[in-house]
Amino acid sequence: MIRFNCDYSEGAHPRILELMQQTNLEQCPGYGEDSHCDRARALIRKACGGAPVEVHFMVGGTQTNLTVISGLLRPHQGVISAASGHIGVHETGAIEATGHKVLTLPSSDGKITAAQVEALLDEHWHDETHQHMVQPGMVYISLPTELGTIYQKSELTALYQVCRKNHLPLYIDGARLGYGLAAAGCDFDLADLCALCDCFYIGGTKQGALLGEALVLCRPQLLPDFRYLMKQRGGMLAKGKLLGLQFEALFSDGLYFQLSRHAVEMADRIAATCQKKGIPPLVVTGTNQLFYIFSDEALTALQQKYAFSYWGRVDERHSAVRICTSWATTETDVDSLCADIAAL
């Protein structure tokens, strides 16, 4: 079975494993206070254009999301998100378990707009009973979104302007951030991102690392004593070196961006084959996540050889599925899938 259903099922890039092997018996301080973490932080700051950001290495995306969100919100506040947002759909109520509600906005493409956020705020503050409701306290987006789409720089700028005007932190879930930055339609980079939000994380788990994410605090004053929060929420790893050296490898010689481009190139080839065959997209993405609408007969044939994620029923005879490439997707597997789609 050839798997195109997720982008984190493989292990880690060989350069990471090599560095782990080389440093296996190296003694160093724990909890992210070692030289590898320091070097990785320096490399990430360089990739961020030298911005004076704080960088914290955390064990996973869910721990990062719940630690940041619960840290930014006061007890009576909730977080604004698209209805399809990861924190509201695929994290088992982790945010609600911290005592905060996810305030959802409708979206057909996974994105939310500045106008939507402003309308939600107006509705809340102009309701005379607003003190009996959950107060909007921050905005969460993911980049790419759960539907693989990306924001334009103008959209992020407008969204952040609304957030700053209303004193709401803007937080970006970057589990697949590299794949978004590598998309042909992306018109910003990491340096731009530091000026377009208050905090974001650079995904490692889905982009070549065994595990781990790098949280970038663009405005550290919003989350003072963050390491205390990391410890309390289970995001701090005792053998922190294991996280730091992975990002040290990923951000040396542009490896992170090289791996991201590879995944997007593989996805682009599959998308081109679907387009040539006349298979319609559910949504156009440009990233490593593809959403296409296949007939039941076509899916039955493809499922004999490939694994992908079922997304939803479209009509009586068609369903949408997610086809996902990764840093480790091989050209041979893509050749095989493209040939079988063309032969449908």
pLDDT at res. 12:
95
> Tens-digit pLDDT profile for the chain (344 aa)?
889 988 888 899 999 999 999 999 999 999 999 999 999 999 999 999 999 999 999 999 999 999 999 999 999 999 999 999 999 999 999 999 999 999 999 999 999 999 999 999 999 999 999 999 999 999 999 999 999 999 999 999 999 999 999 999 999 999 999 999 999 999 999 999 999 999 999 999 999 999 999 999 999 999 999 999 999 999 999 999 999 999 999 999 999 999 999 999 999 999 999 999 999 999 999 999 999 999 999 999 999 999 999 999 999 999 999 999 999 999 999 999 999 999 99
pLDDT at res. 7:
82
Q: Which CATH number fits domain 14-254: 3.40.50.1370, 1.10.3720.10, 3.30.830.10, 3.40.640.10?
A: 3.40.640.10
pLDDT at res. 15:
97
Residues 6+ apart with CB under 8 A from 225: none
Residues 6+ apart with CB under 8 A from 253: none
pLDDT at res. 261:
97
pLDDT at res. 10:
87
Residues 6+ apart with CB under 8 A from 114: 155, 158, 159, 161, 162
**Identity of residue 119:** A
Q: Please tell me whether the peptide bond between 144 and the residue prior to it is cis, using omega within 30 degrees of 0.
A: yes
Rounded percentage of the chain residues whose pLDDT exceeds 90: 97
Domain chopping of the chain, boundaries: 2-7+256-342, 14-254
Q: What is the side-by-side order of every strand in the sheet holding 54-58?
A: 54-58, 213-217, 199-203, 170-173, 135-142, 77-82, 102-105
Task: Please check whether the two domains, 2-7+256-342 and 14-254, share a CATH topology.
Answer: no
How do beta strands 170-173 and 135-142 pair? parallel
Handedness of CA 191, 195, 196, 202 (dihedral sign): positive
Phi first, then psi, for residue 225 (nearest 5°) are 60, 40
Task: Name which CATH class applies to 2-7+256-342.
Answer: alpha beta
The CA distance from 124 to 130, in Å, is 6
Whose tokens are 């081109």? That residue is 272
